[in-house]
Amino acid sequence: MYRVLLIILFFGLQFSSFSQRIKNEDLVYDRNIHAVIFHPRGNQLGNPVIRLGSTDQLKLSFDDMSNESYKFNYTVIHCDYNWNESDMEQFEYLDGFMEGDINQFEFSFNAIPGYVHYDMLFPNPDLRIKLSGNYILKVYLNDASDENVILTRRFFVIEPKMRIDVSIPYYPKVLKYTRHKQQIDLELGTPDLFNAEPMMRVKVVIQQNGRWDNAKMGLKPTSVTNNRLGYHYPNGIVFDGGNSFRHFNMESYWYKSMYIRDIISEADGYSVILHTNSPRAEREYETIADLNGRRVIQARKDQNTSIEGEYAWVHFWLKMPEIEDSDVYILGQLNDWQLNDKNIMIYDYQQRAYYGRMYLKQGYYDYMYIALEDGKTKGDITRIEGDNWQADNEYTVYVYYREKVPEYDRLVGYLNVEANKIKR
């Protein structure tokens, strides 16, 4: 009876309606929308970045768990470096129409449950971008009022003007971090923009993997020498090292791959039960090949992933004592790196383990477990996964320059690197 009540409570939590307070983040607001992918055309693992004035395009795709098609629309919003909406009017940063239609869709085939799959390429001849910076793609039904928005996605338009040099020293400035934290040493070089108040107008954001909860926002230079900006803070720019990502492969429901304990076929779909995990905080670091927390939505070779890929409830178990002052979440691109009701775990006192489940389409998934202390917004990866300098994290550096007329944050520098490939 206890287990039944536990599962009913948890399932009710996951199927509850999402809040309709629209945020400039990667979020889904409609519980029927799944498998949202937004990436450079032809590269599902790429970041949503395009070059200003180029022919680069981004591809958006998603599934609507419905038996009828809808006419979805989209628009684009320019934001500052901190993801607040810019003061500009849309005509100042867009050419063509201010909104577009998503009119490419297909009904699923032989999938249980059924769904409608949507695709869109952007920018396109009907809607083009004139300025660099941070942008939000907003998809909605009928009009863009909050109650009609189904999803939002971040993307970036760059105009490279700066050289970015990054290193991760073995010995950080704070010696107690040695072998654990990763310190980012950063310098920028360009002769063109430094003549106009670089200490005031240049800001840097550093992101670890796909996370935004622990991103370093609005970093300002500490020095200007020989057309170079230095970022030399007394304690350094420091991130938790974390660990290699855990992963599982469910491209096929015909066999159990490594890390999958069982696959159950039911009348309304599949359930995939992963092997029970345990904490790694006290273990020696082990190098495991991963995708830095990403996912690849992909079915068997004999299936068309877009319309024949099937969904499963994936069940996660983490055997460990309860962390009394924190909630525990499943972390990765499988939930857009969010910490919310879709990927929160509950503690099963009989099993002495955390339990969570997520509704996922066939594919390959990276993930970790993260603790979020009560009242905090930044998660702590170290309490469950460990803290290792050797971890192969991915870092993305964004450099912004504040223009005066019109007043907006240009994205003038962009660098994406993996920790083990950075000169140390």
pLDDT digits (tens, 9 = 90+) for 107-117: 999 999 999 99
Task: For 73-83, write each residue's pLDDT tens digit.
Answer: 999 999 999 99
Q: Please enumerate in sequence order all residues whose Cβ is within 8 A of that of 215, keeping only pairs 6 or more positions apart, or say none.
A: 205, 206, 207, 208
Closest CA to 187 of 229, 145, 149: 229
pLDDT, average across residues 53-73: 97
CB neighbourhood size of 282 (10 A):
6
Q: Please enumerate in sequence order all residues whose Cβ is within 8 A of that of 298, keeping only pairs 6 or more positions apart, or say none.
A: 251, 305, 309, 362, 363, 364
The helix or strand, by DSSP H or E, that contains position 200, with its residue range, turns out to be helix 198-201
**CA–centroid distance for 109 within its chain:** 29
**Which domains does the chain possess?**
22-158 (2.60.40.10), 163-241+391-421 (2.60.40), 246-385 (no CATH)
Residue scoring higher pLDDT (217 or 15): 217
The predicted structure's pLDDT at residue 197? 80
The predicted structure's pLDDT at residue 21? 82
pLDDT, average across residues 247-272: 96
Task: For 357-381, write each residue's pLDDT tens digit.
Answer: 999 999 999 999 999 999 999 999 9
Q: Are the CB atoms for 395 and 184 separated by under 8 Å?
A: yes
3-class secondary structure, 33: strand
Task: Please give the Cα distance from 67 to 60 (Å, whole number).
Answer: 21
3-class secondary structure, 14: helix
Q: Are the CB atoms for 96 and 126 separated by under 8 Å?
A: yes
Task: Please give the Cα distance from 138 to 29 (Å, whole number).
Answer: 11
pTM above 0.85, yes or no: yes
Q: Please enumerate in sequence order all residues whose Cβ is within 8 A of that of 225, keeping only pairs 6 or more positions apart, or say none.
A: none
Say if residue 213 is exposed, middle or buried (CB neighbours under 10 Å; 0-12, 13-18, 19+).
Answer: middle
pLDDT, average across residues 387-406: 95
| Paired tokens of 400 | 């912004």
